[in-house]
A and B are shown apart, each in its own frame.
Chain A
Amino acid sequence: MRKLTLWTACVLSAGFLTGFTASAEPVTVPVLAPITGFLALEGGAQRNGALLAADHAGDGIIKADVQDTTTAPAVAVSAFRRALRDGLPPAMLGPILGSQMLALLPLADAEGLPILTISGTAKLTAMGSPNIFRFFPGDVVVKAAHARYAVEDLGIKAPAIIYQTTAYGQSGRAELVANLKKLGVTPVYEEGVPPSAKDLTSALAKARAAGADGLLLHLHGGPTALAVRQAFELGMDLPIVAGSAMHQPTTAALLDPAMLKGVCAESGSAPAAETDGPGKTFADAYRARFNQEPDAFALAEYDAMGMLAAALKSGAKNPADVRKALAEMRYPGVAMTYRTNGRGDMAHDAVIVCYDGDSHRARIAKRYQALDGVQ
């Protein structure tokens, strides 16, 4: 196992670290992540992805300085200040939580510090900052895949949408509706549910009564599992295409495999579902290092750190160099090839995964590239 880990580390490192030498000064990269609080699952994946990328740098070339931001913007600001106490790093990996990123952006602009993030908050790259680089496809990308797979592949013509009432849920719902409209489809039923809702029977029953021929979910992990389970218990024989929470192995683990039959989900990537290539190599290395299944957030953070390492390798030494490199490079990461759209959106591809009902393991059903037109 040790040999396998070393081998996979070498393979994954080769793409972005050739050119670094063991004698290079270690570069400390602050990694701000919500490791505790309600986003601990995603924050933990973010931390793990960064740590694995730093591991694969080898010989301490990159040192990941992980700081917990919990879920309060003020704590993220404190972590930002703490990270800069010994001088300005060449770049920072920011927290996944959008409200924290919005709080950090003015500080980053004041310092001229590039922040690489996997936050999906659309506003981040719409504010004209030259210092934001987003490595997770936003709703503009993944909801295009969500809508297209439901309509073009599953033939859903009268979908019902159940979404979270949080900012995350409303943003995703808006993009989903807009993409359905482009495809000539109008939802027959929509309902927002708070994350604390313990029973989704009524929303599901109303969707059925409205004549829905498919369910489109955009919910957090627990509510997604609850909706899938209760739809199964109600005997709703409708195709379900869920948001990215359903691609996470931890969400699938909450359900009996039979309940997952025919359930699909969008995501930026799905490393746990990859059966060969760099995605599987990454997933194996992640399992060996952390003894858990990787998700798209971990891989996006891994690729973000990878692109930063590639920028440093190409000669970037300070924030201005890194910003220029990230704005100009095309980086072939594990999940996809990253390049900016001019506003700092680096990720433009998405996948659809589906479950066959025999196990908790998803398979990649479809890959979409350049969904926002960025080639």
Chain B
Amino acid sequence: MDALSLQLLFNGLALGAGYGLLALGFALALRSAGAINFAHGDVAVAAAYVAVAGGALGLGGPAAAGLAIAAGALLGLSVAGLSWAPLRKRPIEATFIAAIAIGIVLQNALTASFGGAPQAPAQVASGGVHMSAVFMSWQALISLAAAAIAFIAVWAVLAKSQTGRRMRAAAEDPEIAAAHGIPVMRLAILAFAVAGALAGLAGVLLAAQHYATPGAGADYILKAYVAATAAGWGRILPTAAAAIAIALFETIGAALVSHAVAEALLYAGFVALLAFRPQGLGGEAKGKRA
């Protein structure tokens, strides 16, 4: 593999770390609460702006990133409280329209507060290292490490812990789970908070390398939605893997053809997948799609 290919692979994986974290949170809320949280991308962007504000107040990169994660969790709870909990017994369209509305409010609040210029939060670490002819920024390496830790942690909680087993039971059949004393509502809200924290982490990592604008959430949620559909509706870790694959396709595909053609091919492939395998590559875990 030549140096350019290695560079593109590294860049694609670093971008995929951000996309993967976003998709992980999106799928977690989807699986645990049945919520299609269209505000998820805007939560990520808002959290990144919190990190920008923290930096302006003198916080360093790690502290600002921590603040963004906390802000993401709080925003996740807010989305649950405003768009999901009061509307969860209504037709599902009501919850995702409400989430879209929250996202638009967030976008405009960011524009009003920060203006429309691209912003970058303080990096957790600046500079990088050349290995052979491949440049690896410390920020990108930290993104990869953070994403790997988050993926393992979410997998461990879902697969190995009592809370994870309860979450899965609640997701499979909320009424039976509630009859067995599982606090379905509380677990769903916890899922929103964790999803928000993951969005916060994704937002700050992506913005540090690719900058943030108030409207960037629309692109983020599109990627997460495509990943969730391609992987199989409600499959959490496969959704994150699909998001990483999208990032690799974006970077490597652009080298093979061009950015514009690669983007068109990505969505053409998605349409073809929907036509031939609408349940996604892994089948639907949730069994219900909006």
Residue among A206, A225, A234 making CB contact with B118, cutoff 8 Å? A225
Does A23 belong to the interface (CB within 8 Å)?
no
| Complex Cα–Cα for A226 and B255 (A) | 17
What's the minimum C-beta distance from B80 to chain A, rounded to whole angstroms?
Answer: 26
Please report the C-alpha to C-alpha distance between residue A231 and residue B259 in the assembled complex, in whole angstroms.
Answer: 17
For residue B157, give the distance in angstroms from its CB to the closest CB of chain A. Answer: 29
A234: B residues at CB distance < 8 A: 7, 135
Which residues of chain A come closer than 8 Å to B183, judged between CB atoms? none
Q: CB distance A37 to B118 under 8 Å?
A: no
Tally B residues with Cβ within 8 Å of A. Answer: 37
CB nearest to A195 among chain B residues: B219
Q: Which residues of chain A come closer than 8 Å to B76, judged between CB atoms?
A: none
With a 10 A CB-CB cut-off, give which of A197, A203, A248, A250 has the most chain B CB atoms.
A197
Interface residues of A in 190-224 (CB under 8 A from B): 191-194, 196-203, 205-206, 221-222
Q: Which residue of B lies closest to A70 (CB)?
A: B108
Q: Which residues of chain B come closer than 8 Å to A194, judged between CB atoms?
A: 259-260, 263
Instruction: Chain A residues near B112: list those with CB within 8 A.
Output: 36
Question: Per a CB cutoff under 8 Å, which of A38, A44, A203, A205 touches B259?
Answer: A203
Q: Mark A30-53, 1 if CB is under 8 A from B, else 0.
A: 000001111111111000000000
List A residues 225-260 near B (Cβ within 8 Å): 225-226, 233-235, 248, 250-251, 254, 256
A341 interface residue, CB < 8 Å from B?
no
Nearest B residue (CB) for A208: B4
A165 touches B (CB below 8 Å): yes
Contact residues in A for B258 (Cβ distance below 8 Å): 191-192, 203
Chief secondary structure at chain B's binding surface: helix
Is B162 engaged at the interface, CB distance under 8 Å to the other chain?
no
A206–B250 CA distance with the chains assembled, in angstroms: 16
Whether A199 lies near B251 (C-beta < 8 A) is yes
- Minimum Cβ distance to chain A for residue B138 (Å): 12
B269 within 8 A of A: no
Mask, B172-191, CB within 8 Å of A = 1, is 00000000000000000000
Residues of A within 8 A of B260 (CB): 165, 192-194
Contact present for A250 and B213 (CB under 8 Å) = no
Contact of A41 among B7, B116, B120, B135 (CB under 8 A): B116
What residues of chain A lie closer than 8 Å to B86, measured between beta carbons? none
**Interface residues on chain A, size class:** 35 or more
Most buried by A among B8, B116, B137: B116
Q: Residues of B contacting A40 with CB < 8 Å? A: 111, 115-116, 214
CB-CB contacts below 8 Å: B237-261 with A: 247, 250-252, 254-255, 258-260
B255: which A residues are within 8 A, CB to CB? 201-202, 205-206
Write out the residue numbers on chain B whose beta carbons fall within 8 Å of the beta carbon of A254. 118-120, 211
Mask, B87-109, CB within 8 Å of A = 1, is: 00000000000000000000110
Given contacts A36-B108, A205-B4, A233-B137, contact A222 B118 (CB under 8 A): yes
Known contacts A199-B254, A233-B135; A221/B118 CB under 8 A: yes
Within 8 Å by CB of B219, from A37, A196, A201, lies A196
Q: In whole angstroms, what is the CA distance A39 to B115 when docked?
A: 10
Chain A residue nearest to B140 (CB atoms) is A233
A44 adjacent to B116 (CB under 8 Å): yes
* B280 interface hit (Cβ, 8 Å): no
Q: Which of B5-53 contact A (CB under 8 A)?
A: 7-8, 11-12, 15
Q: List residues of A whose CB falls within 8 A of some B CB.
A: 35-44, 165, 191-194, 196-203, 205-206, 221-222, 225-226, 233-235, 248, 250-251, 254, 256, 292
A-B contact pairs, 6 of them (CB 8 A): A40-B116, A40-B214, A196-B263, A197-B250, A197-B259, A198-B15
